[in-house]
A and B are shown apart, each in its own frame.
Chain A
Amino acid sequence: MERSHARIAALVLAASFSAAAQEPLKIGFSMSLTGPLGGNGRAALLAMQMWAEDVNTKGGLLGRPVKFVYYDDQTNPANVPGLYNKLLDVDKVDLIVSSYGTNVIAPAIPVAMQRKMAFMTLFGTNPNGRFKYDRYFQIMPNGPDPAVGLTKGFFEVAMTMDPKPSTVALVGADAEYPHAALEGARTNVKAAGLKVVYDKTYPTTTTDFTPIVRAIQATNPDVVFVASYPPDSAGMIRAANEVALKTRQFGGAMIGVQYANLKTQLGPLLNGVVAWEVYAPEPTIKFPGVEQFLARYQPLAAAQQLDSLGFFLPPYAYAMMQIVGEAVQRVGKIDQAKIAEDIHSHEFSTVVGNVRFAKNGEWAEGRPLYVQYRGITGNGLEEWKKPGHEIVLWPKQWKSGDLRQPFDQNRK
């Protein structure tokens, strides 16, 4: 009788071990699935789910299947602390990552700090600046001084013009991201020795941008830099066309022009605009696996009525999960301190290229792209997927063409 007891005990023990091995590895986060940034949040979620699927088909993370536990924060910062407290205390997730945008990342950082969690974040412009949390990481490719790194390329491109420009107009929306970008732009402008002839912001509810563009025109700037969100990006570009803005370089760090719907809606109006992108289908950009990723992402996104191009958040959301996954796998267990240390001390190969982090959690080397749109003839999407329409002007290592200026005469 003792032997069969022992056998049963052994079986039970074996069963409970394998059950533990099958216990899912939970990754928790809030995501902006509704509200004005909802489109981006959903696109990011889709990319993250693609990563989870990929990882699970290869056996999961640490031998456990990856499972997401997430809630919609409705792009409302007030919801964030409660949601992360729930994820950590009630849902008992193993790892956390962030939602999209500074407004909903910042309130989560103190919660992460309190629990000493490693915290990978998605596209915030220096939310960690004040907290200085050493386990914070950011997948936005701005570099160690985020606002400056984000906007540097635009002005370096401007200074390649011959003769050199002397005046600049700065304009942006009254919201967190544009203000942050403009702050960085001012530093770059000063470093380049340009004179600021216009520096104003507009309310996010602005309907008509033509008075603003006319006021800018009245100052006759050589360079015009815009920091905006999708509706105003579209509005400013339309207004610039309607007012027939005369300037040598026009564009900026405009969120929205990366999306399929704005690219197709504005079409040829975008020609000549120098814009911030994080990915362009140019031959000089060789991120390993990004083309396959996009080929898989695009039909899935179209089916869910999401941005069907995927040139903005999706590859980066996928990359951030790749980094977290690789670090966890290498460390071999869920140890927040060791995971953070691993991410700090390694270079990662992701679908957005090689990534290394600085001490403050931002990228060690910033490489946002500045491209000039060219040769768009209609309102279709297929043109945008081919090379030759988003000429990379900056950074130098991926340059695929030269700036065509002035803006008002060189629009093809």
Chain B
Amino acid sequence: MSGSLFANALVSGLLLAGFYAAVSVGIAIAFGMLDVVNIAHPAFILLGSYAASVANSAFGIDPILTAAALSPAFFALGAVLYRLYHASFERRGREPLRGLAFFFGILFVTEVALILAFGVDYRSVNTGYIGTTWRFGAVDLPLRLFVPFVVSLAMTVGLQIFLSRTFFGRTVLAVGQDQVALHLMGVDPVRVKQLAFGISIATAGVAGALLVIIQPVQPSLGREYIGLVFAIPVLGGMGSIAGTLVGAAVLGIATSFTATFFGPSWAPAVSFGVLLLALAFRPSGLFGR
């Protein structure tokens, strides 16, 4: 086994893991902490991709800047969506299945909206760094993957700090653990959840910008990510951002190594097989409570 092949496979796996973390950290919050089965999360990721692509083709703006500028809008969208969800489902009884169907509907409606607005052709972005690769000895670092990796890491680490160090952040963690206690302490759990869900959708917007840097997108691409965005937080442990990072790393490296040494065809079987085994032996996830 060549050393440089191994090293590069590891690096590729980590870079991929960074991207995986970005797309799934929103579910770690929405599903892990708030118990909202937002199956439409990939649709919001795609919304972010399209927004970034449009800004890039029309004004030449870098996708990450677009994502940053639009995150308040995505946040607001998430907040509004949560209100709707709460009023229709959560208040009436704890049946996540109906919420799931609701979000399925949102997934399809969003896909159609994208088709109507942009057509079905693939879209992508052009930035200065997409063609560049940094080389450190035998190891290659394509910026097309490295820049999203850095942004994703910044976002997830930032979120973790926010959740564990700030007051609001800790109310979010608390609402996942014990809503009643939180209420008794004078905090409105619904408002907290609303804002947390807003953050979740905001991360989707950013993840979308990263996605369109890495590969071309088209409206039905969201469906391919449903399994992944839920698998990673579940693997890593619900309600834990650190767990999501670990889950992403495990799947990213598994994918990369399988593709390099055994045959890319088997990568999904390996990734999801790992998940199945983890669920069979440790149902609460690697870092779960």
Contact = CB atoms under 8 A, between A and B. Distances in A.
**Would A and B touch once assembled, by the CB under 8 A criterion?**
yes
Given A200-B265, A242-B140, A242-B142, A265 B124 contact: yes
A335 B212 CA distance: 51
A262 B144 CA distance: 16
Interface residues of B, number: 42
Contact of A206 (B115, B126, B259): B259
A174 B268 CA distance: 12
Given A214-B5, A215-B260, A304-B119, A174 B265 contact: yes
Interface stretch (B169-177, B186-194, B215-223): B215-223
A379 B60 CA distance: 13
B166 interface: no
A164 to B, nearest CB: 27
Contacts of B277: none
B218 A306 contact: no
B133 interface: yes
A36 B140 CA distance: 31
A262 B145 CA distance: 19
Given A214-B8, A230-B122, A262-B122, A205 B268 contact: yes
Interface in B39-93: none
Interface string B251-279: 00001110111011101100000000000
A96 interface: no
A202 B218 contact: no
A68 B9 CA distance: 52
Interface residues of A, number: 43
Contact of B216 (A234, A306, A379): A234
Interface stretch (B12-20, B24-32, B95-103, B229-237): B12-20
Interface in A19-40: 33-36, 38-39
Contacts of A201: 263-265
Interface string A192-207: 0000000011110111
B224 interface: yes
Interface in A153-205: 174, 200-203, 205
Contacts of B9: 211, 214
A54 interface: no
A207 B133 contact: no
A212 B144 contact: no
Contacts of B13: 211
A182 to B, nearest CB: 12
A33 B121 CA distance: 10
A210 B215 CA distance: 13
A33 B120 contact: yes
A33 B218 CA distance: 13
Contacts of A231: 122, 215-216
Nearest to B133: A242
Contacts of A174: 265
A300 to B, nearest CB: 14
Secondary structure dominating the interface of B: helix
B249 to A, nearest CB: 14
A269 B259 contact: no
Given A210-B142, A238-B144, A39 B259 contact: no
Contacts of B133: 241-244
A38 B131 CA distance: 28
A362 interface: no
A203 B264 contact: yes
Contacts of B224: 205
Contact of B214 (A33, A208, A259, A265): A208
B218 A241 contact: no
A265 B140 contact: no
B120 A34 contact: yes
Given A230-B216, A241-B131, A242-B144, A202 B120 contact: no
Contacts of B215: 207, 231, 234-235
Contact of A202 (B15, B130, B259, B261): B259
11 contacts: A39-B218, A207-B215, A210-B12, A210-B142, A211-B264, A214-B12, A230-B122, A231-B122, A243-B140, A262-B122, A306-B119
Interface of A: 33-36, 38-39, 42, 174, 200-203, 205-208, 210-212, 214-215, 218, 230-231, 234-235, 238-239, 241-244, 256, 259, 261-262, 265, 269, 304-307, 379
Given A38-B115, A210-B140, A211-B256, 11 more contacts: A34-B115, A38-B121, A202-B264, A208-B214, A211-B8, A211-B264, A214-B9, A218-B5, A230-B216, A231-B216, A262-B216
Cβ-closest 7 pairs across A and B: A38-B120, A202-B264, A305-B119, A39-B121, A242-B142, A211-B260, A211-B259
